[in-house]
Amino acid sequence: MNQNQVRGVIQKIIVAVYEYCKANNIRSLVIGESGGVDSAVCTALAARVRSYAKQRKYNLAVITAILPCESTKASRRLAKKVIKQYKTEKVELDLTKVYKIIAKSWLKSLDKALAKILKKADDAPKKKSWKKAKRVAQGNIKARLRMIVLYHIARMTNGMVIGTGNLSEWWMGFTTLHGDCGDFYPILQLMKGTEVYELAKWLKVPKEIIDAKPDDGLGVTTGGDEAKLGAPYRHIDLMMQGLIQNGLDINGSLSQLTAEMVVMGGFTSELVEMIGSRCLRNAYKRRGQVVLSRTQLGLPEFTASKKK
């Protein structure tokens, strides 16, 4: 994006969030502040929405929540830096003890029961895959605990939760269902490797955050987010753009990943195929809830009665 596009995107986001708040009598924007670039950008945007609303005599608070859960010290420090810069309301609640009770006490017996169920179904988990699944599942618990608190804050302050997801991670399914969610997603259609960082610079997000290695701050990933994804965000963006231009249906089947489709200058076919496969395998996360229609259930649809 050029500078005019960045300015235009920011202004459109500000107006859209404000108009939504006013139309629905929303009085607070609630953001989970992780110390990462996505939440920092969303906080900076929310602060501008607050100013825009104030000019129009509409009271709107921005509440940023620091919710550490076995988090790194750096993530908490950077989160506080963002809050100080954009002068938002701050709440802080350490979820580590609650998480340990759930994940390391209550779920021990549950996991044993699940292993027995799988064994009965002749699908006994292999030690390596079981450990990986458990690590991911426990990370999901952390994300969902945070969301419980964010929605409590929103309910108590007549607010809405701002979703901090971006397009790169949406493509990759790099998100926790019912854990990385929100009521309004201002940057979900912006690619992280390029566009989100352009907004971050324009909004004067602290340079330390912009330069930091992307990481969930929860100790779930080893080596940062990009290591888990298998490529830098900028490269993921380029590969996904190329795949879509080559005809990829991001919600389609794996069979569409032909040898011709994954040929792309600057990247190996193996890497492009891996990124495309990840996108397609995680399509279920983008589809959301599956609801059977009344027609599928063999019941008549409701239609407006004809007026005489």
Confirm whether 174 is domain-assigned: yes
Tell me, yes or no, whether 24 and 165 share the same domain. Answer: yes
What's CA 26's distance to the chain center, in Å? 22
Given a cut of 50, the residues of the chain with pLDDT beneath it are: none
Q: Of 222, 252, 271, which one is at a domain's C-terminal end?
A: 222
Contacts for 164 with CB less than 8 Å, ≥ 6 apart: 31, 32, 34, 38, 39, 41, 42, 180, 182, 187
Tell me, yes or no, whether 66 and 203 share the same domain. Answer: yes
Residue 73 neighbours by CB distance under 10 Å: 10
Q: Of 187, 222, 257, which one is at a domain's C-terminal end?
A: 222
User: What pLDDT was estimated at residue 208?
Assistant: 96
Tell me, yes or no, whether 214 and 269 share the same domain. Answer: no
User: What pLDDT was estimated at residue 135?
Assistant: 86
Confirm whether 120 is domain-assigned: no
Q: What are the CA-CA distances from residue 275 to residues 158, 213, 230, 233, 307 (Å)?
A: 40, 20, 8, 11, 55
Domain containing 160 equals 3-97+140-222
Confirm whether 106 is domain-assigned: no
Confirm whether 121 is domain-assigned: no
Tell me, yes or no, whether 203 and 261 share the same domain. Answer: no
Tell me, yes or no, whether 197 and 236 share the same domain. Answer: no
CATH of the domain at 71: 3.40.50.620
Tell me, yes or no, whether 217 and 151 share the same domain. Answer: yes
CA–CA separation, 296 vs 277, rounded Å? 30
Tell me, yes or no, whether 50 and 168 share the same domain. Answer: yes
CA–CA separation, 294 vs 36, rounded Å? 43
Tell me, yes or no, whether 49 and 178 share the same domain. Answer: yes
User: What pLDDT was estimated at residue 289?
Assistant: 87
Cβ atoms 112, 66 nearer than 8 A: no
Tell me, yes or no, whether 73 and 188 share the same domain. Answer: yes
CA–CA separation, 152 vs 98, rounded Å? 16
User: What pLDDT was estimated at residue 218?
Assistant: 65
Give the dihedral of Cα atoms 231, 234, 235, 241; nearest 10 deg: 130
Q: Of 222, 255, 283, which one is at a domain's C-terminal end?
A: 222
Domain count along the chain: 2
